[in-house]
Amino acid sequence: MEQRLAGAGTALLDLAGLYVRASSTRAVAAPAGRQDADEAVRIADARAQEILRRVQQGGDVDPSLRVEFWSTGEELAEKLVAAIERDMQEDTGRPLDPERAYELWNAAYSLGDARGRWDTTYHQVLSPYRGDLYGTDHLNAVLQRRRAGVLLDRVGSLGGVTYFDKVIQVRNRPRSDLAEAYNTQTRAVERVELFNGDIGFVKVHAYDSRQWTKPGFRIRRFQVAFARKEHLWVNFEAVGAVEDNLDLAYAISIHKAQGSEFGRVYLIIPKYRRQLLTPELLYTGLTRATRHCTLFVQEDISPLLGMRRPEASALARINSSLFTFRPVPPALLNLAEWYEEGKVHRTLVDIMVRSKSEVIIANLLADRGIPFTYETPLYAPDGTFYLPDFTLTCRGTTWYWEHLGLMHDTGYRAHWQQKAEWYRKHGFARQVIVTTESKGVDSAAFAEIIDNLLRGTGPLPLLSDIAL
């Protein structure tokens, strides 16, 4: 992917990289004695916060990535159509005629082909789900109406599909169940294999080529030219055949897109139903784009933050290995709690952190009954945010605990300095507790800080008292 996006900016690569790291079992818990693993995770986390801050601002992050936020299904549909047609106008140099939108779509699909053949890989809408207003079923209906509404009204559809629709084969047709097709090279009808995931465009059936433009004509059959075998026009001559074999493919699931690549990708990320959306799946969706990705995120970036949590990984929850048995932490086996917004975690088993030092801090907080959350976004009045390591409440005051483990690393140190300036700028410095590992991990010092918080007396290592 890096070579394919060369010269187009790195934001898409940077964002995708967050989720291939988040899905690593190393991010769940580094083995004892593996300080290098802890350091790698911390450095990656500092870099992650920077790209997420850029994403949170929305709009064009760089030439490879655009971010759009939406609240309702209606708003998503409106923004999705607008983004697609804006990109089509940019790519083709043609203006949009709202009454004849299909002309722009046809021009975009045929870009780069001297014979005017349509390219199934020009762009693709991807969603993790099929149902709801952000799922493929609804988005397909919206996009079909936009692109082929004139035909739907004039000639109707067959099994929900009309002429020139983009479609996907949804079941295998092996040698024992071959499909019938007309071979334009041999000019003969033959039996052909089809495979689940094949994408193509609907054509007017050859028998109807002189009739379909006449008044009163209604569609009764059509043919499909699938990608990489456009010379084979596969016949579909009954509603049952269409419903058993084809779905609209203006929008497809991320699962269906695995192994495929598209020039432009429009990736839908819902907020309130993400139990099935894993870091692995998000990474797959982002990396389907060879040129540009527009990310449609519901309301705010909390879904993207949630996908970075180690417990969100599907791989980390697998309890088996070909070579060794790795017990899964109990927290991973009770995922429902991880998707409650703002949940307070009171015990060590309820939370997973990124380093051994943070494990100690979390354990001490839980032992003393101090409610806290881990990596909860802290927003400033201007809408920017950072992720404190711990957000805790003690004696009616909210505190933010930052543990600095890698101040010897230039990039990590620069990130902290920027973060500290942000805390100061927005008036949080007197609430930020700062600990370091300059002299190693000091559990006793952590315990003393927590005890001072509980008593309301004694010194605290606050950012406001530290010179940068």
The confidence band for 1, taking pLDDT boundaries of 50, 70 and 90, is: low
> What average pLDDT does this structure show over 279-290?
92
| 16-20, 163-167, 262-266: range with lowest mean pLDDT | 16-20
How many whole angstroms separate alpha carbon 37 and alpha carbon 111? 47
| 81-95, 161-175, 410-424: range with lowest mean pLDDT | 410-424
**Residue 106, amino acid:** N
Domain boundaries in the chain? Answer: 1-143+250-321, 166-248, 342-468
Question: Within a 10 A sphere around the Cβ of 156, how many other Cβ atoms?
Answer: 13
Q: Judge whether residue 34 has pLDDT over 70.
A: no
How many whole angstroms separate alpha carbon 306 and alpha carbon 319? 22
How many whole angstroms separate alpha carbon 308 and alpha carbon 331? 15
Q: Which of 82, 198, 81, 178 is nearest to 139 (CA)?
A: 81
* Predicted TM-score (pTM) of this structure: 0.77
Phi, psi (5° rounding) for residue 115? -90, 0
Q: Judge whether residue 13 has pLDDT over 60.
A: yes
Residue 146, token pair as written in the block:
């936009």
Q: Judge whether residue 28 has pLDDT over 50.
A: no
User: Residue 350: its pLDDT value, please?
Assistant: 55
Hey, is 277 helix, strand or coil? coil
How many whole angstroms separate alpha carbon 102 and alpha carbon 111? 14
The confidence band for 12, taking pLDDT boundaries of 50, 70 and 90, is: very high
In contact, 227 and 139? CB cutoff 8 Å: no
Phi, psi (5° rounding) for residue 134? -105, 10
Residue 228, token pair as written in the block:
């990489």
Q: Which helix (H) or strand (E) holds 36?
A: helix 35-56
Q: Which of 410, 409, 408, 390 is nearest to 400 (CA)?
A: 390
Question: Within a 10 A sphere around the Cβ of 53, how many other Cβ atoms?
Answer: 17
Interior angle at CA 393, CA 427 and CA 26, nearest 5 = 95
Q: Which of 10, 70, 107 is nearest to 267 (CA)?
A: 70
How many whole angstroms separate alpha carbon 21 and alpha carbon 17? 6
Q: Judge whether residue 308 has pLDDT over 60.
A: yes
Task: Report the half-sphere exposure of 445 (CA within 13 A, side-chain side).
Answer: 14
Contacts of 253 (CB under 8 A, 6+ apart): 126, 127, 128, 129, 130, 136
Buried b (16+ CB within 10 A) or exposed e, 307-339: bbbbbbbeebeeeeeeeeeeeeeebbeeeeebe
In CATH, what is the architecture of 1-143+250-321? 3-Layer(aba) Sandwich (3.40)
Q: Judge whether residue 235 has pLDDT over 90.
A: yes
Q: Judge whether residue 204 has pLDDT over 50.
A: yes
Give me the chain's average pLDDT, please.
84
> What average pLDDT does this structure show over 442-456?
91
How many whole angstroms separate alpha carbon 27 and alpha carbon 188? 57
How many whole angstroms separate alpha carbon 215 and alpha carbon 423? 69
- What's the gap between Cα 224 and its chain centre? 31
How many whole angstroms separate alpha carbon 121 and alpha carbon 257? 11
Concatenated DSSP letters for 121-174? TSEEEEES-SSSTTSHHHHHHHHHHHHHHHHHHHH--BTTB-TT-EEEE-S-B-
How many whole angstroms separate alpha carbon 96 and alpha carbon 102? 9
The confidence band for 420, taking pLDDT boundaries of 50, 70 and 90, is: very high
User: Residue 207: its pLDDT value, please?
Assistant: 94
The confidence band for 278, taking pLDDT boundaries of 50, 70 and 90, is: confident
